[in-house]
Amino acid sequence: MMPIPVQCSNCGGSFRVADKFAGAKIRCPKCKDAAIQIPVVSAAPVDEPLGGLDDVFSSASTLGPLPKQRKSAGSSQATRTLLMVGGGLLALVVLIGGLAIAGSYAWNLAKQSQAPPTVHFQASFGVEHSTSNSSGSGPADSAMFDPNQLQAFRPKNYPIELSFPAGPIKQEQVDGREQFRWTVPPQFDVSEGLAFNEIKLIIVPKVEGESGYAAIEKAKQLIPPLPPDESQVQNRRMGSGVVGGRNAFMATYQMPSRQTVHFAAYIPDRRYIYVLLGEADGSLQHSRWDAIVQSVRFNESGPIGPPMTAAPDTGPPGMASSGREEPPKPVEPPPSLKGTAIAP
């Protein structure tokens, strides 16, 4: 209801009455004397609250508390739907993340399989006995072996121990000298530079009293480190190094016409010169050859071959007069002949 302002013409008192009294006459509540005509006015908003005699001329009612609203079944269903959708999205995010991690792991494994594998030493194969004769095959099918892995090997009757690529090793007699030869299985592709083509260990007997230096020079004449046509050789590197605690001669070179790289190591011992030769694809990492050379060890307590023939000691300076080698200098095995003398 809208209040109507009224002023008494007799006493001048002002007050307001409810709009239901519009057009009626009322007695002034102050002077109790004059009759006041309540004007008729149009409804208009009034900001000020009712005052004066509003409690007399208007009826007010007190509002009660609002009724409690009931939760509808539709609201609960919508909540459950939102929870289900949110849970599904969370599960999808977790699934995508898991697939991404698995894909990254598989990609890393694929990249590692393409890189040169780490050298591992497997169980001894052919230790203390020859692996085969010149016409036979190895003790197992070569398809069972990965030539990128290494196996410990010790030929019978010789104190040398070293690592060969996994697979059969043939024991042969060539030009009256005993040799142990490993070749890559024919089904294995070496064009990616991951494995050797061939590795040989040739046994050259020493003459009794012969110095290690003289015996190495004689072995180099019997088994030259370079091919007869040296014009095909590039990146030739030759020099000395320590192999198995012995002062050895080492060489490496490339043959672009064949796209191959070749390695050689002449290792002296009391009774023999061990000539270790390797051939591989030209892209082979030289650290693969270093791993084989650095694996050489000598076990003097094992069986040895026939006695040496007598000969005067003609060793050069640096060798003892008895023909036995002086202890090697503390030189680390050079990776890929790093730091060795380069032949002209």
What pLDDT, in 10s, does the model give residues 272-315?
999 999 999 888 889 999 999 999 999 876 555 554 444 444 44
CA distances in angstroms from 134 to 170, 179, 202, 222, listed in the order given: 6, 10, 14, 21
With a pLDDT cut of 70, the percent of the chain lying above it is 65
Six-digit token string for 152: 């410990």
Residues 6+ apart with CB under 8 A from 95: none
What is the reported pLDDT for 283? 86
Residues 286 and 337: their CA atoms lie apart, in Å, by 9
- Within 13 Å, how many C-alpha atoms sit on residue 50's CB side? 16
DSSP 8-state assignment for residue 121? E
Query: Is the distance from CB of 10 to CB of 34 less than 8 angstroms?
Result: yes
Res. 153 pLDDT band, cuts 50 70 90 = very high
**Parallel/antiparallel/unpaired status of strands 121-122 and 150-153:** parallel
The per-residue pLDDT for range 15-28, each reduced to its tens digit, is 888 878 887 888 88
The model scores a pTM over 0.75: no
| Sequence-separated (6 or more) residues with CB below 8 Å from residue 68 | none
Instruction: Output the pLDDT for position 285.
Output: 87
Cα dihedral: 52, 55, 60, 62 (round 10) = 100
| pLDDT single digits (tens) 190-237 | 665 567 899 999 999 998 888 989 999 999 999 999 998 989 999 999
Residue 306 contacts residue 170 (beta carbons within 8 Å) = no
The residues spanned by each domain of the chain are 3-57, 121-337
SS3 87: helix
Give the pLDDT score at 338. 45
Q: ∠213-219-220 over CA atoms, to 5°?
A: 90
> Given this model, what pLDDT does residue 140 score?
42
| Residue 183 Cα distances to 3, 119, 120, 130, 156, angstroms | 117, 18, 19, 16, 19
- Secondary structure letter of residue 259 according to DSSP: T
pLDDT score of 328 more than 80:
no
Q: Give the integer Cα–Cα distance in Å for 217 and 71.
A: 103
* Predicted confidence (pLDDT) at residue 240 exceeds the cutoff of 90: yes
Question: What one-character DSSP code corresponds to residue 226?
Answer: S
C-beta of residue 214 within 8 angstroms of C-beta of residue 229: no
CATH value of 121-337 in 1.10.10.60, 3.40.50.720, 3.40.1000.10, 1.25.40.80: 3.40.1000.10
* Whole-angstrom distance, CA of residue 131 vs CA of residue 138: 6
Residue range 83-118, pLDDT digits in tens: 899 889 999 999 998 899 988 888 877 766 554 333
Q: Which DSSP string do the residues of 172-191 spell out, in sequence order? A: EEETTEEEEEEE--TTS--T
Residue 289 vs residue 44, higher pLDDT: 289
